[in-house]
C-alpha cells in the first residue's frame, strides 16, 4: 500500500517577528574527554545528561552557535516534551482529586489559594515574585503555628525550575495536600508539622511549563521566558557572579531574595530526565574538591534512592551509581541552585531527578507519587538528627552565630543560627567533633569531644558572653567608574545587636564610633546610584574602607520610519537580557532608566519592520536616533509569492488549516524514501530574524520536516506537532531558505 504524507508551512511573518518566541534546541554530541566536557561544553550549553561519551543538551540560539564554534556538529533531536501527548489537564480544582491530571495555570493558582483558605492555621501562601511573563512564583509554609517564627528548623522543597520537568510539580502539590489533610489523623505527619517549618514551591518556572499557553503543558520547555536556564543562573562558588554570562533572571532573583529572608537548613529541588539523587558539589568533582560533608550527603541521597527503589518496579531510580551521584562526578555545572543554597546560605540541598520522562503522561503521575512518597517524607525527617540547640547571650537574647567544626569545615560548610530565635542544626556523619560557637561582638566558645550518633539528635544550647573590643570605623563612598566621591550617601552598618547609621560628607567620607569587632554588613544608598552591600571584618588592624557605588543611567531617543522619515509609535525598546523595556510614543520618543554604567544592547522591534539591535556605552551623551526599515512579510493568503521554487513536486496553497489567516502551504505528497522541498532566496538588508509557523503530521522519528539556511540545518521536526511558531537569526546579505520534507 502506498503511504502518502504531507506537511504544512504557514508564514505569519517571514522576516522579523518582534514577538517571536526564542528557539530552544535539544540535541546530542559525542565527547570522550571528560575534562573538555567539564570546562568547555558545560560553559557553552545547558547539559541535560551524560551517558558515556554522549552528551544530551539544550541551547538557545546564542549557546548553539557557541557550541558549533567549538567544532561540534550537534545532532538535533526531537524535544522530549513532544514524545508524549496524552497529558490530561484539570480545568477545575475538583478535577485534581485523583492526581492524574496536570493543572492549568489558573487551576494551579486556585489550588495554592485554597490550601491556605482550607487550613488557615497550618498553611500560609506567599507570592515571592513574578516571572518574565508575569506569572506568580508561589511558596506555601506548613507549620502548626504558621504565622509565627518559631525556633524550629526550616525545610524547603521546590520543583520544576526546568519548565518541562513536570513530575515534581504535581508531586509537590500532592505533598502539600497530604501534609495538610493528614495532620489531624497521622501522628507522623503531625510530628513533622509541629516540629518543623516546611516550605514548598511546586513550580519555579511556570513560564517554561506553560510555554504553550496557560491551558496546557504539552509545549513546555526547559528555559524561562528569556530563554535562560535558571539552573545555570545562580551565583557560583567556583566561577562567581553571573556564571552563565546572563543577568540574574526574575525567577533567580526571587529565589535568592527569598532564601535571604529565611533560614533554610535543608532543601531539595526536583527535576526529570533521569532517575537519581545528585548532591554537591556541581561545581567540582569529588577528586577536585569534595564537600566537607560529602559522606553525609551520600548517606541522605542513598536513603532517598533506597526508599524510591523499594516502592517501585525494578529499574526505577538506578541511574549512575545505582541512583546516587555527586554532581561534578557526573558532569560539572556552574550556577546551579543546589550549590548556591549550599554555599551561599549554609543550607544542605540536593537535586532529585525522579522520572526519565520529563513531562510524562498524566495517568502515570499517581505511580510516581507511590514511588517517592516515603522517600520525600523520610528526607524531611533528617531534621530530627544532628547537633541542635539555641545560641543566646547572657541576657537570654538570641544571637546570629556561626557554628564551625574544627578540622572539618571548608567552603562555607559551617552552619548559622536563625537570627530571630538563635536556633541552629548541624547535621553531620557520626563521629567525635570539636564544635566552636562564635558571634560578632562576643567571645567564642568551643565544646570538645562532641559525640554524634547515627540517626540521633544531640541538644546543645550555648550562651556566649564577654563583649569583644570595639573600634572606630571610617571610610569613603566613591563612584565605581569615576572614582569621584559620593556625597550625602546613607551608610548603615549592622553588627550583632547593633545598627549604626550616618551620611557621607561632601568628600564622600563617613565615620562610626565603637563598632564591635567582627564581621559587619555595610548597606549604602544614594540618589542616582544602585544600592550596594559590603561585608568587612572589623579589628584593631582594619584600614579605612572604600565602598563603591554604580551609577544609574538613562538613555532616550527617537525611532523613525526610514522612508518616509517619520516618527514610529509603538516600537518596543528592550534592554537585551533584561525585563527593562518601554515603547515609543506618538513622537517616536522613548526613555529607559535604571541602567548601569557600561556597555548595553538595545533591541528595537515593531511588527512590519526589521528589528535593530544597537550597542552603546553608558553614559551616552546625545539622544539616540534609530531608523527602522519596513519588512516585506510573505503571505499565502492570495497567491504563492514570487521567488518560491519547488523540488520533488509542487507545494500548494491549502485552506483546510492555517496558523493565522486562512491559507498555508501544503507539501507535495511523498511516499517512502522520497523528498520534497520548497526554497526561497532573499537579500536581507540588515541583521534580522526569519520567523514561520509549521505543522507536522508524520511517522515519528522516521519522517521529518527540516529547515535550512544556506544549506545549514537549523531545525528538524517529526511526529504529530500542532501549529508552532519558530524564529532564527539571519545576518545581512543574500540567503537561501529551504523547507524539506522527507
Q: Which residues are catalytic?
A: 353
3-class secondary structure, 594: strand
Task: Name the residue with cell 525545610.
Answer: 155
Inter-residue contact 468 to 441 (CB < 8 Å): yes
Q: How far apart are CA 653 and CA 668, in angstroms?
A: 11
Inter-residue contact 575 to 595 (CB < 8 Å): yes
Cα-based angle 422, 265, 182 (whole degrees, multiple of 5): 105
Q: How far apart are CA 204 and CA 685, in angstroms?
A: 41
Q: How far apart are CA 29 and CA 51, in angstroms?
A: 11
Inter-residue contact 723 to 693 (CB < 8 Å): yes
For residue 97, give every residue at least 6 positions away whose Cβ sits within 8 Å of its Cβ, in sequence order, or none.
none
CA dihedral 255, 260, 263, 268 (to 10 degrees): 20
3-class secondary structure, 118: helix
Q: Could you give the count of Cα atoms lying within 13 Å of 653 in the half-sphere of its Cβ?
A: 12
List, in sequence order, the alpha helices (H) in 325-481. Answer: 327-330, 337-344, 365-380
Inter-residue contact 403 to 445 (CB < 8 Å): no
Altogether, the residues listed in the chain come to a count of 742
Q: Please give the distance of CA 523 from its chain centroid, rounded to a whole number.
A: 27
CA dihedral 52, 58, 63, 68 (to 10 degrees): 50
For residue 282, give every residue at least 6 positions away whose Cβ sits within 8 Å of its Cβ, in sequence order, or none.
327, 328, 332, 333, 334, 336, 338, 339
Inter-residue contact 180 to 235 (CB < 8 Å): no
Beta bridge partners of 532: 524
Largest CA distance in the chain: 92
Order the strands of the 645-647 sheet from edge to edge: 645-647, 676-684, 733-741, 705-709, 712-717
Helix 167-181 vs helix 187-195: crossing angle, to nearest 10: 100
Amino acid at each position: 500500500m502506498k503511504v502518502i504524507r504531507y506537511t504544512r508551512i504557514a508564514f505569519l511573518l517571514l522576516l522579523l517577528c518582534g514577538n517571536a518566541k526564542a528557539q530552544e534546541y535539544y540535541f546530542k554530541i559525542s565527547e570522550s574527554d571528560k575534562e573538555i566536557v567539564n570546562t568547555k561544553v558545560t560553559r557553552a550549553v545547558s547539559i541535560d545528561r551524560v551517558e558515556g561519551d554522549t552528551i544530551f543538551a539544550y541551547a538557545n540560539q546564542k549557546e548553539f552557535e557557541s557550541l558549533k564554534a567549538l567544532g561540534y556538529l550537534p545532532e538535533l533531536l526531537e524535544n522530549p516534551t513532544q514524545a508524549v501527548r496524552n497529558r490530561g489537564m484539570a480545568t477545575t480544582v475538583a478535577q485534581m482529586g485523583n492526581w492524574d491530571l496536570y493543572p492549568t495555570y489558573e487551576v494551579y493558582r486556585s489550588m495554592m489559594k485554597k490550601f491556605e483558605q482550607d487550613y488557615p492555621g497550618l498553611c500560609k501562601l506567599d507570592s515571592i515574585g513574578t516571572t518574565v511573563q508575569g506569572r506568580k512564583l508561589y511558596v506555601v509554609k506548613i507549620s502548626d503555628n504558621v504565622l509565627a517564627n518559631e525556633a524550629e528548623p526550616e525545610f524547603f522543597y521546590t520543583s520544576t525550575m526546568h519548565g518541562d520537568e513536570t513530575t515534581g510539580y504535581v508531586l509537590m502539590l500532592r505533598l502539600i495536600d497530604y501534609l495538610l489533610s493528614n495532620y489531624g489523623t497521622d501522628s507522623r505527619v503531625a510530628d513533622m508539622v509541629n516540629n518543623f517549618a516546611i516550605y514548598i514551591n511546586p513550580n519555579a518556572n511556570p513560564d517554561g511549563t506553560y510555554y504553550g499557553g496557560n491551558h496546557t503543558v504539552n509545549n513546555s520547555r526547559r528555559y524561562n521566558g528569556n530563554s535562560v536556564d535558571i539552573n545555570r543562573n545562580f551565583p557560583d562558588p567556583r566561577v562567581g557572579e553571573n556564571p552563565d554570562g546572563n543577568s540574574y533572571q526574575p525567577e533567580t532573583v526571587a529565589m535568592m531574595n527569598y532564601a535571604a529572608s529565611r533560614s533554610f537548613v535543608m532543601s531539595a529541588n526536583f527535576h526529570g530526565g533521569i532517575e537519581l539523587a545528585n548532591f554537591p558539589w556541581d561545581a567540582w568533582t569529588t577528586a577536585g574538591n569534595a564537600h566537607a560533608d560529602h559522606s553525609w550527603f551520600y548517606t541522605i541521597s542513598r536513603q532517598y534512592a533506597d526508599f524510591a527503589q523499594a516502592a517501585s518496579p525494578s529499574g526505577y531510580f538506578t541511574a549512575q551509581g545505582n541512583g546516587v551521584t555527586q554532581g561534578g562526578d557526573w558532569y560539572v555545572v556552574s550556577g546551579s541552585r543546589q550549590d548556591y543554597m549550599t554555599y551561599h546560605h549554609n543550607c544542605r540541598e540536593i537535586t532529585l531527578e525522579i522520572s526519565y520522562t520529563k513531562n510524562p503522561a498524566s495517568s502515570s503521575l499517581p505511580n510516581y507519587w507511590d514511588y517517592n512518597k516515603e522517600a520525600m517524607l523520610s528526607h524531611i525527617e533528617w531534621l530530627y538528627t544532628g547537633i541542635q540547640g539555641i545560641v543566646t547571650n547572657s541576657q537570654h537574647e538570641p544571637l546570629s552565630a556561626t557554628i564551625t567544626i574544627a578540622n572539618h569545615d571548608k567552603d562555607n560548610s559551617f552552619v548559622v543560627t536563625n537570627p530571630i530565635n538563635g536556633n541552629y542544626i548541624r547535621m553531620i556523619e557520626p563521629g567525635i567533633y570539636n564544635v566552636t560557637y562564635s558571634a560578632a561582638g562576643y567571645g567564642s566558645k568551643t565544646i570538645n569531644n562532641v559525640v554524634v550518633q547515627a540517626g540521633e539528635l544531640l541538644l546543645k544550647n550555648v550562651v556566649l558572653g564577654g563583649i569583644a573590643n570595639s573600634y572606630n570605623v571610617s571610610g569613603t563612598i566613591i563612584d565605581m567608574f569615576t572614582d569621584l566621591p559620593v556625597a550625602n550617601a546613607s551608610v548603615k552598618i549592622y553588627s550583632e545587636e547593633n545598627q549604626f547609621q550616618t551620611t557621607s560628607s561632601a568628600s564622600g567620607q563617613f565615620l562610626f564610633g565603637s563598632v564591635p569587632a567582627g564581621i559587619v554588613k555595610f548597606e549604602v544608598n544614594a540618589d542616582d546610584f544602585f544600592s550596594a552591600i559590603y561585608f568587612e571584618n572589623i579589628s584593631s588592624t582594619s584600614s579605612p574602607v572604600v565602598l563603591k557605588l554604580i551609577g544609574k543611567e538613562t538613555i532616550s531617543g527617537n525611532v523613525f520610519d526610514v522612508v518616509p522619515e517619520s516618527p514610529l509609535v509603538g516600537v518596543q525598546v528592550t534592554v537585551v537580557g533584561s525585563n527593562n523595556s518601554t515603547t515609543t510614543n506618538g513622537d517616536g520618543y522613548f526613555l529607559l532608566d535604571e541602567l548601569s554604567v557600561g556597555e548595553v544592547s538595545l533591541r528595537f522591534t515593531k511588527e512590519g519592520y526589521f528589528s535593530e539591535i544597537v550597542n552603546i556605552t553608558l553614559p551616552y551623551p546625545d539622544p539616540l536616533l534609530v531608523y527602522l526599515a519596513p519588512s516585506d512579510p510573505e503571505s499565502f493568503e492570495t497567491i504563492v509569492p514570487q521567488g518560491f521554487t519547488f523540488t520533488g513536486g509542487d507545494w500548494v496553497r491549502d485552506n483546510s488549516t492555517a496558523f493565522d489567516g486562512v491559507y498555508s502551504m501544503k507539501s507535495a505528497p511523498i511516499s517512502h524514501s522520497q523528498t520534497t522541498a520548497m526554497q526561497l532566496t532573499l537579500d536581507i538588508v540588515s541583521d534580522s530574524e526569519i520567523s514561520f509557523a509549521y505543522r507536522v503530521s508524520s511517522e515519528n522519528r522516521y519522517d521529518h520536516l527540516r529547515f535550512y539556511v544556506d544549506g545549514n540545518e537549523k531545525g528538524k521536526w517529526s511526529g504529530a506537532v500542532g501549529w508552532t511558531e519558530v524564529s532564527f537569526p539571519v545576518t545581512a546579505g543574500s540567503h537561501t531558505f529551504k523547507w524539506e520534507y522527507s
